[in-house]
Amino acid sequence: MVTGKVIIITGASSGIGLASARLFAAHGNKVVMAARSIDRLEALAAEMLSDPATPASTEILCVKTDVSLEADCRTMVERTLERFGGIDILVNNAGVSMRALFRDVDLKVLRTLMDVNFWGTVYCTKYALPSLLERKGSVVGVVSTAGYAGLAARTGYSASKFAVRGFLDTLRIEHVKDGLHVLVFAPGFTTSNVRFASLTADGTPQGSSPRDESKMMSAEKVARKMERAIERRRREVILTFLAHLELFVQRHMPRHMDRWAYDYMAREPDSPLK
Which residues are designated catalytic?
A: 157
How far apart CA 157 and CA 198 sit, in angstroms, is 10
Helices (H), 175-270: 219-231, 241-252, 254-266
How far apart CA 193 and CA 267 sit, in angstroms, is 20
How far apart CA 100 and CA 35 sit, in angstroms, is 26
How far apart CA 157 and CA 146 sit, in angstroms, is 7
Tell me the β-bridge partners of 10.
34
Q: DSSP letters of 59-112? A: EEEEEE--TTSHHHHHHHHHHHHHHHS--SEEEE-----B-S-TTTS-HHHHHH
Helix (H) or strand (E) holding 140: strand 138-142
Pairing of strands 59-64, 30-35: parallel
Helix (H) or strand (E) holding 41: helix 38-50
How far apart CA 61 and CA 118 sit, in angstroms, is 24
